[in-house]
A = this chain, B = another copy of it.
Amino acid sequence: MSILLKNCRYIITQNKQRQVIENQDILIKNNLIEKIGKITEEADEVIDCSEFIAMPGLINMHTHSSMNIMKGIAEELPFFKWLDKLIQTESKLTKKELYEGALLACREMIRTGTTTFNDMYTDLEQTVKAVKETGIRAYLSWGIVDEDKTNQKGNPLNNAENFIKQTIQENNKLIKAGAGPHAIYSTKPELIKQSKKLANKYNTFMHIHASETRKEVKDCYYNYNMRVIELLDSINVLDENTCLAHVGWITKKEAKIISEKKATVILNPTSNMKLGTGGNPPLPELLKYGANVTIGTDSTVSNNSLDMFEAMKYTALLQKHMRWDSSIITAQQVIDFATINAAKFLKLNAGSIEEGKIADLILIDLKEPNLQPINNIIANIVYSANGNCVNTTIINGKIKMKNKSYLF
């Protein structure tokens, strides 16, 4: 199977030089980008891209897709009341509802230009079903929580191991399983350590919430005489295979620890703002210290959107606002967070449009007035577009949406 993206008006390559190429073609063969340039070869499918921007598909680094079924049920509540309401509702959800939530989430992500997502949840079988049905790429971490704090049957660590084993056995190229210790307030340090060991045993990654709220930091200090990142470091779970969601309440010292240990940061600005956690990661310092920074939407019970274009704009604007400095972060940096930085953590051969890379890419409709006029294409992507300006979504060399209609 081959696809020729003919005469792309712009290609945002995200290659090393961050080139934006004009009026060139992209040839996709099987699941790879075979060639970029002026291509005379024929292909099974040809798409006229003269009114499209081609760019790498976006990577949503923090979601809980099944929770999507609860979108809107817990509005305008303080954080811990909000969490209680969710946990109560969640305990009554059927497998069918979890599946429907995940399916709608996958549809929304494909519609809005996300080709890969990094999810944490229990009962991930329903998510797997939705992922297979839609053909999106997924990194799925089974939630590992203290037994007295969860409704899941059996031992959470064993459940996670079974899920990882089962995923390896199935060998679906779009799905990889990781370990998901929930957070320090729901998963004891010893269990977080065991979760990391589990991830290492299967040569995979760990995904954890860290320092999302002030209360989490305060309680951590009370219980362990350390801040959250310091605690995680003290149990040796920070390395290049660990990603930390939120980090809204970390110090510069913690930012340095994260960077030195090469753990990946996942910013969730929209979720933090909507929940009123007050959290705002020290992004300029994280970047100065060399941290790998990425972006997530969080689930739609706290955002309530899975649109990564929106999340990119919130990432930039929140920093500019909090530092009273419009130059503190650039549109190009934000696109890096949502593409190549995320791919680096996931060890995914994607995140840029280059020959030999996996064909995870999207076509954005220049006929949408949001994208006009074009004085600065990179600024237009981050500050003017939204996910519904995406016309076509290609994942692993397969067209999943074309002319804004699903092909699954």
Instruction: Give A residues with C-beta under 8 Å from B.
Output: 68-73, 75-79, 82, 100-101, 104, 107-108, 111-112, 270, 272-278, 280, 300, 303-305, 307, 310, 314, 316-318, 320-321, 323-328, 330-331, 368-370, 372-376, 379-380, 383-384, 386-389
A-B contact pairs, 16 of them (CB 8 A): A71-B373, A71-B376, A71-B379, A71-B380, A71-B384, A72-B375, A72-B379, A76-B327, A77-B327, A78-B325, A108-B372, A276-B320, A278-B324, A304-B379, A304-B384, A305-B386
Residue of chain B at shortest CB distance from A368: B388
Q: How far is the CA of A279 from the CA of B333 in the complex (A)?
A: 24
- B-chain residues with CB within 8 Å of residue A324 when the two chains form the complex: 276-278
CB <8 Å contact, B272 and A386? no
> Which chain B positions have C-beta within 8 A of A111?
368-370
B387 touches A386 (CB 8 A): yes
Q: Provide the residues of chain B in CB contact with A330, threshold 8 Å.
A: 75-76
Q: Are B69 and A373 in contact (CB under 8 A)?
A: yes
Are B277 and A72 in contact, with the CB atoms below 8 A? no
Given A78-B327, A325-B276, A375-B70, A304:B383 Cβ within 8 A: yes
Cα A270 to Cα B316 in complex, Å, equals 11
Q: How far is the CA of A276 from the CA of B321 in the complex (A)?
A: 5
Contacts A71-B373, A77-B326 given; indicate if A321 touches B272 (C-beta within 8 A): yes
Can you name 17 extra interface pairs (CB under 8 A) apart from A108-B370, A368-B388? A72-B373, A72-B383, A78-B326, A78-B327, A111-B369, A270-B317, A273-B320, A274-B316, A274-B320, A274-B383, A276-B325, A277-B324, A304-B380, A304-B384, A305-B370, A386-B388, A388-B389
Q: Considering the chains assembled together, what is the distance between the CA atoms of A32 and B104 in angstroms?
A: 37
CA distance A84 to B303 in the complex (A): 36
Contacts A307-B386, A369-B108 given; does A75 touch B379 at CB 8 Å: yes
Identical chains in the assembly: 2
Contact indicator A331/B75 (Cβ below 8 Å): yes
What chain B residues lie within 8 Å of A112 (beta carbons)? 370
* Contact across chains for A328 and B370 when beta carbons are under 8 A apart: no
- Which of chain B's residues have a CB closer than 8 A to the CB of A76? 326-327, 330-331
- Residues in B whose Cβ lies below 8 Å from that of A272: 321
Name which residue of chain B comes closest to A76, CB basis: B327
Contacts of A327 in B (CB 8 A): 76-78, 276
A246 smallest CB distance to B (angstroms)? 14
Which residue on B lies nearest to A374, using beta carbons? B72
Interchain CA distance A369-B401 in the complex, whole Å: 13
A402–chain B nearest beta-carbon distance, Å: 16
Residue among B78, B104, B273, B331 making CB contact with A373, cutoff 8 Å: B104
Q: How far is the CA of A374 from the CA of B104 in the complex (A)?
A: 11
Most-contacted residue by chain B among A71, A100, A278, A326 (CB, 10 A): A326
The 6 A-B pairs with the shortest beta carbon distances in the complex, nearest first, are A72-B376, A388-B388, A276-B326, A72-B375, A108-B369, A278-B324
The residue in chain B whose Cβ has the minimal distance to the Cβ of A376 is B72
Q: Which of B305, B326, B328 contacts A82 (CB 8 A)?
A: B326
Q: With a CB–CB cut-off of 8 A, which chain B residues contact A370?
A: 108, 111-112, 305, 307, 387-388
